[in-house]
Structure 1
Amino acid sequence: MDEHKKKARILIGVSGSVDIVLLPKYLQTIKANIDCTLTVLMTKSAEVFIPATTIALFADRVISGEKPEDWPTDKPSRIIADHDIVAVMPATANTLAAVATGSAPNRLATIIMAATYPVLFFPVMGASMWEKPAVRRNVQQLREDGYQVVEPVWHENFDVSLARMVGHPSFPSPEDVIAILRDNIGS
């Protein structure tokens, strides 16, 4: 790699989904395979599933919460200026809907809508949600608006509450995520 080439500045937006527990493996793989600075922006709902302090073990920087006292260093315009790409992993139905309808209920949605560079969504949600017409319309709208919505890969997991195996859309393999990121940052 050319030593004068600038490191990719990747922002991973994280919304609340049960598959967030897989995120550390993806962050490790990104850091191991792409010369980058890696920032993770967590929504309040993401922190319900996994603490920001845990995610901080796998990223260069973590931004979490919506506290006004954080805005001098973490306001959306500064975050946007400090990155070259946004990948939303996991992208919940709520996050997809917010951006598809032009809503900015949190800092992540605000950044996505104001970004002038590639924004990729990696949807993760229950199978029945993914198939709902409203979700499909939102995905189509995002694509028409120029966002990249990566087709999820179906995974089978044991659902303790149902006491049976269930399938749901989730992340592509870490290797596929690396390839998609590279295609969008030109490295």
Structure 2
Amino acid sequence: MTGHTRDTIFVDGCWIASTGTGTLPVTNPYTEEVIGSVPDGTVEDVDKAVRAAAAAFPAWSQTSRDDRVKYCSAIAEGLKARAQEVALLASTEMGAPWQIAVMVQAGLPVIDFASIEDHVDAIEWESRSGNSLLIRQPVGVVGCITPWNYPLHQISAKVAAAFAAGCTVVLKPSELVPGVA
């Protein structure tokens, strides 16, 4: 087996072993070759991730919007620095043509995180409607389940918005394209 194999899941800022023993194959759709495998996560893994995200929420939600935007900008820079790696994974795991992999699969996630400041600044965080006061504030853990097409873009669009709003995230990416995620 060649290509992308991972034997851990990312929970609470660390790569840890899944509580399960199963794995899922990662297949190149162009060659139909198995190019790697990933853990088949369990209910216990999800519970652990949700508990960690819930524990992180109080502190993260109190972080200033400016600081959250800075974190999103740093993520954008990290994605930009790894664009070729992301494009190669997208091309291999999805069968995406190279130019599409570079421009869309690797490029759009950078834009999502880099442009979040414009979106956050456009939100009216507090407003009046008649006698009511509407306050937009972080509410908790956001659960994201994303599809195989545009895998990292689907993730970045959801995660950038959640992070910028002050929410924490538990993500379950598609098992078909886990390396891109």
TM-score, structure 1 length as denominator? 0.24
In proportion to residue count, which structure has more strand?
A: 1
TM-score by length of 2: 0.24
